[in-house]
Amino acid sequence: MVKQYILSFEKDKDGSWYIIVPEYPGNRSELQMVAGADIALDKLSNGTNLVRLSCYTSFKLLTHYKAIHTGYGNYTCSLLNDFWLCEVTKYIFGEYPDEIYFKVIRG
C-alpha cells in the first residue's frame, strides 16, 4: 500500500514560506522553506498564501511532479527549480526519500 502524506505550507506577512507541522519539536525557524523550496512554493501557490501537497515516496499515477534526491537535502525537479529540503523532511518521511512524487491539492 502506498502511503500518502498531506503537507501544508503557509506564506507569512513577510513573504516567507513555512511548512505547517504543529507537533514538530524544534524551532519555527527550522520549518522555513529556503534555498529554492520557497521559489517552488511561489510557483505552486497560484498567487495564494497556502499550498497543500499530496506527496508519495513511490510512484502514483496522478502525480504532477517528481523530485529526485541528489544528496543531503538537495532535490531536482524538471518542472520546477532545484531546491533544498531541511531536516524536517527526515522528521516527516523518516529519511530523505530518493524520490518524492507530489501534486497540488486545490480547493
Residue 61 has pLDDT above 70, yes or no: no
Residue 16 has pLDDT above 80, yes or no: yes
When divided into structural domains, the chain yields a total of: 1
At residue 106, the pLDDT reads 79
At residue 51, the pLDDT reads 94
Mean pLDDT of the chain: 83
Q: pLDDT over 90 for what percent of the chain?
A: 21
Contact 102, 53 (CB under 8 A): yes
* Strand order, beta sheet including 17-19: 32-33, 17-19, 5-11, 50-56, 99-104, 65-71, 74-77, 83-84
Q: Domain residues for 20?
A: 5-104
